Amino acid sequence: MAIDIHSINRDLVINAKYISGQTTYQFGIQKLVPLINKLNIQRDLQDPKFYKRLERDLLKGCIMPPITLAFITEKELIKDENISQYINENIESAFVLDGIQRLNTLKRASESDDNLDVSRPLFLNIIICYSMDNLLYRMITLNNGQKPMTARHQIEILANNVYDFDTLSIKVRTEKERKRATNGAFKKADIVKAYIAFLSNSTNIDNRKIIEQKMDELVADRILDSNITEDDVEFEEVIALVDRLGENAKSLTWFQLNNNLIGFAVGIKTSFTIVSETSGEEFAKSIENFEKAFAGFDISKFNVGQQRRKLTSYFIAHYSELFELGENDLLQVLSEVL
């Protein structure tokens, strides 16, 4: 019992392997259904009554639309001739990008009637991607418009289940864990917000003046309109940079302010090289100067959080031009951005 490969192609937009294949209902029940529970924050399973018709049709012998799976691996690690072996040996590492409800319905059908023919074919589309950012782009294009699962939720899924924060010096905690943690821990929710800002190339990701549903639509639109698949910088590299710069206590405290982290995540796309070459001490001095300039604004005249994100993003994006400016010169430049 395994996955048979039919074809191997390349998705030129996200630079990924795109494979079509098939297996059986039995394999789907035993190997793919458990992947649903693996991502416990993935889209909630819908009321079974919506899939009663499909359940009945499965028992009659229908063919379901293909399930879409995905793997994230190192670039060009997998040769075409080894793809079948890789997929079958690493199926527990796969993500279900599309078809959670269908797999759950298949499981229910198998439990409700022993007459289900588990040898029936289950068709698969499989993406082997080398970039988490690119995979999220594809995931959003697959699911955008399906109300139960927003772009934010999809980003949260992979950020929480793919990134290994334990390899970093910085501590990343859930809100519950953070209450018990020592000082110096980042909220995981803040990391996810920074990721959303990075992908959408916008600091305006949770405007309270806009209703949540419409805000989710705007975020998805920005992500789809951005150049994620053409960017040279991965969010994983951004977090690694935050990790290094955060070795300086002042910088760490600065990054832990969510609005600074969001602004940094957006601005760093255009200045990654120069900031990467900056020492922790130099960066700490530059943001200290930024804070002195920011303190020169009358905060009663604007939304502080919104403008902090905007100005932080601008400062980081133009780091090569601004990091050596004096406090007053920097204030003048930033005042023109407001």
pLDDT single digits (tens) 133-148:
888 888 777 665 444 4
Distance CA 264, CA 337 (A): 16
Strands (E), the chain: 4-11, 16-24, 67-72, 95-98, 121-129, 171-173, 185-187
End-to-end CA distance of the chain: 62
Confidence of residue 100 (pLDDT cuts 50, 70, 90): confident
**If pLDDT is split at 50, 70 and 90, which confidence band does 164 have?**
low
Separation in Å, CA 270 to CA 57, 115, 148, 281, 311 = 52, 59, 34, 21, 15
How high is the pLDDT of residue 40?
A: 43
What does the alpha-carbon distance between residue 59 and residue 160 come to, in Å, rounded to a whole number? 36
What is the total residue count of the chain?
338
For residues 235 and 224, what is the distance between their CA atoms, to the nearest angstrom? Answer: 16
Least confident of 36-50, 79-93, 106-120, 158-172: 36-50
**Local confidence band at 154 (pLDDT 50, 70, 90 cut-offs):** low
- What is residue 82's predicted lDDT score, i.e. its pLDDT? 87
Residue pair 223/200 in contact by the 8 Å Cβ criterion? yes
Coil, helix or strand at residue 66:
coil
* Apex 73 CA angle, 68 and 77, nearest 5: 120
> Would you state the structure tokens that stand for residue 64, as one six-digit string?
């379901």
pLDDT digits (tens, 9 = 90+) for 47-80: 555 577 788 889 889 899 999 999 988 766 678 8
Contact 149/43 with Cβ under 8 angstroms? yes
pLDDT band for 180, please (50, 70, 90 cuts): very low
The predicted pLDDT at position 294 comes to 94
* Interatomic CA distance for residues 332 and 191, integer angstroms: 31
* The model's pTM: 0.69
Longest Cα separation, the chain: 78
Positive or negative torsion for Cα 182, 183, 185, 190: positive
Sheet with strand 95-98: strands edge to edge: 4-11, 16-24, 121-129, 67-72, 95-98
Q: Where are the domains of the chain?
A: 4-130, 148-337
Query: Is residue 182's pLDDT more than 70?
Result: no
